[in-house]
Amino acid sequence: MKKKPVAGPFDQLEELLKEAGIELGVEDKKSPPARKTLPEPQTAEPATDEALFQQAMEGVSRSSWRHFPIRTAPEPSTPLPDGATQEKQLMEAAVAGDPALRAPDHPEYTEGWVGVAAKRFLPGLRDGIYSIQGQLDLHGLDREEARLAVEEFVGRMSRFRPCCVKIIHGRGINSPNDRAILKESLQRWLSTRRLSKHVVAYASAPMNDGGVGAIYVLLRSRF
């Protein structure tokens, strides 16, 4: 004898829902939609040099060479004379902080003495330790006028006592061929018999008192 199946708690659920007018949704047994896959990025072909150049030149307008001045080659600089070159180098060294520029370092420096014993006075003249008792400026004088002025000045200053004087002769920068005519002549005049009897020694003035444009002359008394 077969047993009747035991009714479960949901056996009458379907009839109750029908009576209530409620329909249960039916699952869509269709297969779920396939997922959309993104297209694989396409590998760009390497750009050519021409394409890269065109890309770099976008927005650049063409211009004519006529809008720009023509550059000319610089004129060759005139080489300086040997003396001017050395002087420029000495001045640059002084500005750079090298040892102080002294008159004996200059290519135009000059000195001389009368008699062997007089040479010992040169260091004092170079360093300017002697006080200056008189000064003569030869600027504006021709050669003969300058000679007469020097002879009169030296004779007058050495009349009573030994002394040190300063004679400004210039450097001949404005003279023909840039020759220091008065400077060259002055050295000869100081060595003549007429003046050498008064002269002990002479040397270019220190750089802070005229430098190679002037000369210190140490004079002895003629009495």
Domain hosting 197: range is: 110-219
pLDDT score recorded for residue 76:
56
Is position 189 within any domain? yes
Is residue 199 a part of any domain in this protein? yes
Residue 167 domain-assigned?
A: yes
Q: Quote the number of domains for the chain.
A: 1
Residue 150 is encoded by which pair of tokens? 């020097």
Rounded to whole angstroms, the maximal C-alpha distance in the chain is 181
pLDDT of residue 97: 47
Give 10-residue mean pLDDT values along the chain (223 residues).
56 69 58 60 64 72 57 55 53 51 76 90 91 94 95 93 94 70 92 93 91 93 73
With CA atoms as reference, report the closest residue to 202 among 102, 114, 134, 117: 114
Q: Is residue 191 part of a domain?
A: yes
Q: Is residue 95 in a domain?
A: no
In a domain, 188, yes or no: yes
In this prediction, residue 77 carries a pLDDT of 54
CATH at 172: 3.30.1370.110
Residue 177: inside a domain? yes
Is residue 191 within 8 Å of 83, Cβ to Cβ? no
Has residue 37 been placed in a domain?
no
Note the pLDDT of residue 38: 60
